[in-house]
């Protein structure tokens, strides 16, 4: 799996921690699009960089991080083809994959600790979409909203 990750200045340390967790998985190739220090950047720019690669198929999945996870997840969901899930618990992370086929995970560096975030990431990258008809139907309806 090719995974692209990015953050604003509110989650640089969380990004570094998440990358260590992702390094546990030999089959995951990670591309980091920044930011890399505490200088202020605008989270929509990071969301666009990450989600552009997911939407185009250059990457299979993305992880976006900001201070709360709110701004960057809202921005991510403006990119056509993106289903970004803001998850600060393992149950939501699992459901976002099984039921919503989320292709982007969002978290907040000022909200969650490295340990819980690592567990969320492990579950999110290893959980498959259920492919159940009712979930696929809802996803199809959700994505059709992009064209209305």
In a 3-state reduction of DSSP, which class is residue 42?
Answer: coil
In a 3-state reduction of DSSP, which class is residue 121?
Answer: helix
66 part of the interface to ligand RB5, by CB under 6 A: yes
HSE-CB for 86 with a 13 A CA cutoff: 18
Beta carbons of 50 and 65 less than 8 angstroms apart: no
Identified binder of ligand RB5 from the candidate list 71, 79, 86, 92, rule CB under 6 A? 71
43 part of the interface to ligand RB5, by CB under 6 A: yes
100 is in an annotated binding site: yes
- Is-catalytic flag, 66? yes
- Is-catalytic flag, 131? no
8 part of the interface to ligand RB5, by CB under 6 A: yes
135 is in an annotated binding site: no
Nearest 10 degrees: Cα torsion 123, 78, 107, 23:
50
d(CA 86, CA 105): 6
Identified binder of ligand RB5 from the candidate list 32, 48, 53, 67, rule CB under 6 A? 67
**Could you say which of 7, 99, 131, 135 is catalytic?**
99
Tokens encoding 8: 């604003």
Which residues are designated catalytic? Answer: 66, 99
Instruction: List the binding residues for D-ribulose 5-phosphate.
Output: 8-9, 67-71, 100, 110, 134, 138
Binding residues for ligand RB5, rule: CB under 6 A, are 8, 10, 43, 66-68, 70-71
């Amino acid at each position: 799996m090719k995974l692209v990750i990015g953050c604003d200045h509110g989650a640089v340390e969380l990004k570094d921690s998440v990358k260590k967790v992702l390094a546990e998985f030999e089959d995951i190739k990670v591309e980091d699009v920044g930011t890399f220090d505490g200088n202020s950047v605008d989270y929509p720019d990071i969301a666009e960089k990450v989600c552009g690669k997911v939407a185009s198929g250059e990457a299979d999945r993305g992880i976006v991080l900001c201070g709360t996870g709110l701004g960057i997840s809202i921005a991510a969901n403006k990119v056509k083809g993106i289903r970004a899930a803001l998850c600060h618990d393992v149950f939501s992370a699992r459901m976002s994959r099984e039921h919503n086929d989320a292709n982007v995970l969002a978290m907040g560096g000022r909200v969650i600790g490295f340990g819980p975030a690592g567990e969320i990431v492990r579950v999110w990258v290893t959980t498959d979409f259920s492919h159940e008809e009712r979930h696929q139907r809802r996803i199809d309806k959700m994505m059709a909203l992009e064209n209305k």
